[in-house]
Structure 1
Amino acid sequence: MCSVSRIWEKVCTMAEGGSHYCSKKTDDICGDAREDSSRTLSMTRLKCILRGADIKAYIFLFMLIPTCVFVIYMHGQKITYFLRPLWESPPKPFHEIPHYYHENVSMENLCKLHGWGTREFPRRVFDAVLFSNEIDMLKIRWKELYPHVTEFVLLESNSTFTGLPKPFVFSKIRDQFKFLEPRLNYGRVPGRFRAGENPFVEEAYQRLALDYLLKQAGIQDDDLLIMSDVDEIPSRHTINLLRWCDGVPPVLHLRLKNYLYSFEFLLDNNSWRASVHIYQSGKTKYAHYRQSDVILADAGWHCSFCFRYISEFIFKMKAYSHVDRVRFSHFLNPKRIQRVICKGADLFDMLPEEYTFKEIIGKMGSIPHSYSAVHLPAYLLEEADQLKFLLPGNCLRESG
């Protein structure tokens, strides 16, 4: 018991910064503690420590704990994303197919360069999309693909993926697409409006409905089917290559240049969700996830959040499947959104979704400005006056 007493005396001395405040010689509470019961002894020791603690330690703890809670609340998502390489491995890499193209090279030679044969006649092509409110991007897409697409298939719902009601926008603007009316297959699907449901469930429901609309449009085996969102636009020459060549993989992903807000902010070349399928009845299902390990390089453009009006940014932030990223109401402030767009920063104040610390650190911060408008969709340059907000140097948006 004497040895315990000596150890405790040293602890008390350290708590007081080296003084003998709690020693037997100067403090009756600590000195008599060994004579009390075990419960009394514990309480006595606690009082001894509290007496000996420096007031600065109390202030430090009082400030530290709320600060930690605040930092986790404000930046917990960033911390999780930064530590992602510790708990998640990168996906299996794609087998990359080099993409050869020049306007003066024959289709026979282009197919040969890819290791494919040449068909006697091209496949029919079906382009199928789910539509929300991306009017400008839809027009750029269909103008780009018009020469080589047999049927355009568009499905629209009166519900967002998050269950918010929305009007049937395309019905009001259909007259703007008279140039492809004979090839247009337009369908509607009523929303399910399930409060609190995972947004990806509603998204899957709408994509399933698109399968039925494709059958109504007359798709058949060996037709070419483009599966991608409205803002994931395959280049015209890519689709022409795939419809003329024989030996193309039955499911082929397309690597797209990845832009944010406009064609001024080139994020990377890693957009891969767009895909092209050689249709097989009973097997091909419309989806927006990885479906093969083969990808064709430099096959088009993905322009995410490329809207004309600030109100459209706000609508999509609340409507799409990743609505959980809107962690604070001020994220939807129009002035903040405008600042973020012109800066090339992240609307949701998130870190890059990467799998190595090198990639995460390399992509942190704002996206560098690009001043190149070379090899962009033709219609974008033909209608530059109307679509200048998508070109370099025009980041200011209308309120809408």
Structure 2
Amino acid sequence: MLIDAFTYFNEKELVELRLKYLNPIVDYFVVIESNITFTGKKKKWNFPDVLNNNLKEFSNKIQYHQLNIELDKIKNEESWIIDNIKGDDFWRIENFQRNYIKTACKKFSKDDILIISDLDEIPSTKKLNFILSSDFSKIAPVALEQHLFHLDCSYLRLESWRGSIVTTMQSCNEFSPQKFRRLRNRISHFTDGGWSFSSFGGYERVKEKIESYAHSEHNNDKFKSPEHIANCQKTGADLFHRKVKSKKVERSFFPEDLLKLMDQNPEFYFGKNH
């Protein structure tokens, strides 16, 4: 059995794409949504609206969990980001929500295969089919190296991004989802493992993400101005002034089955001038 588990904030277009693309091979989707943002602000439950209006056809496969986080009760949660880098208290919220995947999946068999991702990290069905056809318990866990895009799909980031982790439930029960996330650059990986669509949706959505996620160092007016975001989208420049190169790509970069789904929300994926 293949289980796809991820946390949810408000990315309606991405969750629709993910479920429609992965539906042919995934048995269950496990969705974790919190009552607060990664910066500790109260938020509404966003997923039920999407589920009831856009994803009814998948309702028999979706296991949706609402997680009420009390900040004073997660002070001992790990705050690791990656490798030996620790974050501030905001990272405890993100990590606690991700680690709840383990609790949400406890009824699955130890031999079942689990995908642990951020929602915007879309694993390749080609790689997942290879995993399903293999004696996976002998090689698990593996990270999927994914093609990284920021703001829209006009520019491909020329950097390695290992996002989705695929493992067995037995392995997940022995460790934690966040530990896999933290060590994803140290474990075995498959190249061409999918796509990461980070900070999509236009100015208001990008601004909301910057103000809501755990990278508090990015919550700065110089990164949130509409002029700056529009320029980065137009030129492929990094949103946070990091020295990362990018190259322009065409629609043909994406496989036909994924592209067909992306074209259901063309402005979201390819910008206003698609």
So what's the TM-score if we normalise by structure 1? Answer: 0.59
The corresponding residue for 1:91 is none
Higher strand share: 2
Flag the 1:234–1:385 CA change in 2: closer, same or farther, 3 A: closer
Alpha-carbon distance in 1 for matches of 2:141, 2:262: 34
Q: Distance between the aligned counterparts of 2:10 and 2:208, measured in 1?
A: 9
Q: Which residue of 1 aligns with 2:18?
A: 141
Distance 2:169 2:238 in 1: 37
In the alignment, which residue of structure 1 is the partner of 2:116? 227
Aligned partners of 1:161 and 1:203 also within 8 Å: yes
1:172 aligns with 2:52: no
Q: CA–CA distance in 2 between the matches of 1:204 and 1:377?
A: 34
Q: What corresponds to 1:275 in structure 2?
A: 165
Where in structure 2 are there 5+ consecutive unaligned residues?
A: 76-87
Q: What amino acid does structure 2 have at the position aligned with 1:294?
A: S
Contact 1:342 1:396 in 2 (8 A): no
The CA deviation at 1:324 is 1.0
Partners of 1:257 and 1:387 lie apart in 2 by 19
Once the two structures are superposed, the pairs formed by residues 351-366 of structure 1 within 5 Å of their partners are 351-352=243-244, 363=245
Report if the CA contact (8 A) 1:253-1:273 is conserved. yes
Q: Distance in 1 between matches of 2:256 and 2:216?
A: 30
CA distance in structure 2 between the aligned counterparts of 1:323 and 1:376, rounded to whole angstroms: 35
Q: Secondary structure at the match of 1:228?
A: strand
Contact 1:341 1:395 in 2 (8 A): no
2:221 counterpart (329, 347, 367): 329
Pair 1:379–1:368, CA change in 2 (3 A): closer
In structure 2, the partner of 1:301 is: 195
Equivalent position of 2:83 in the other structure = none
Distance 1:227 1:276 in 2: 6
Distance in 1, matches of 2:99 and 2:272, equals 36
CA gap of 1:283–1:227, structure 2 versus 1, over 3 A, is: same
Alignment match, 1:374: 253
1:373 aligned partner, one-letter code = S
1:188 partner SS: strand
Deviations 1:144-178 (A, max 9, x none): 11011111000001211111222111122212111
Question: Which 4+ stretches in 1 moved above 6 angstroms?
Answer: none
The 3 A distance-change label for structure 1 pair 169 and 267 is same
Aligned to 1:43: none
Cα distance in 1, alignment partners of residues 103 and 207 from structure 2: 31
Aligned positions of 1:1-400 closer than 5 A: 124-175=1-52, 176-193=54-71, 198-215=89-106, 218-247=107-136, 248-268=138-158, 270-280=160-170, 282-287=173-178, 288-291=181-184, 292-307=186-201, 309-326=202-219, 328-352=220-244, 363=245, 367-376=246-255, 378-382=257-261, 384-391=263-270, 394-395=271-272
Letter in 2 for 1:322: H
The one-letter amino acid paired with 2:192 is D
Q: Provide the rounded CA distance (Å) in 2 between the counterparts of 1:375 and 1:273.
A: 18
Higher relative contact order (CA 8 A, sep 6+): 2
Counting matched residue pairs gives 255
| 8 Å contact from structure 1 (residues 259, 268) kept in 2 | no
Letter in 1 for 2:63: N
Greater helix fraction, Structure 1 or Structure 2: 1
| CA deviations over 1:230-254 (Å, ceiling 9, x no partner) | 1111111211211121255121111
Q: Report what 2:82 is aligned to.
A: none
CA deviations on 1:247-296 (whole Å, 9 max, x unpaired) are 55121111111112222110025111321002207314212222553111
The worse-fitting range, judged by mean Cα deviation, of 150-159 and 340-349 is 340-349
Structure 1 vs Structure 2 CA RMSD: 2.4
Conserved in 1, the CA contact under 8 Å of 2:262 and 2:269? no
Evaluate the alpha carbon distance shift between residue 180 and residue 334 of structure 1 in structure 2; reply closer, same or farther with a 3 A threshold: same
2:35·2:69 contact (CA, 8 Å) conserved in 1? yes
Greater shift in the superposed pair: 161-170 or 149-158: 161-170
CA shift at 1:396, angstroms?
Answer: 5.9
- Helix, strand or coil: the match of 1:274? strand
> Secondary structure in 2 aligned to 1:233?
strand
How far residue 315 of structure 1 moved from its aligned partner, in angstroms, is 0.8
User: Deviation at 1:383?
Assistant: 5.2
Q: Counterparts of 1:269 and 1:348 in 2: how far apart (Å)? A: 15
Q: TM-score, normalised by structure 2?
A: 0.84
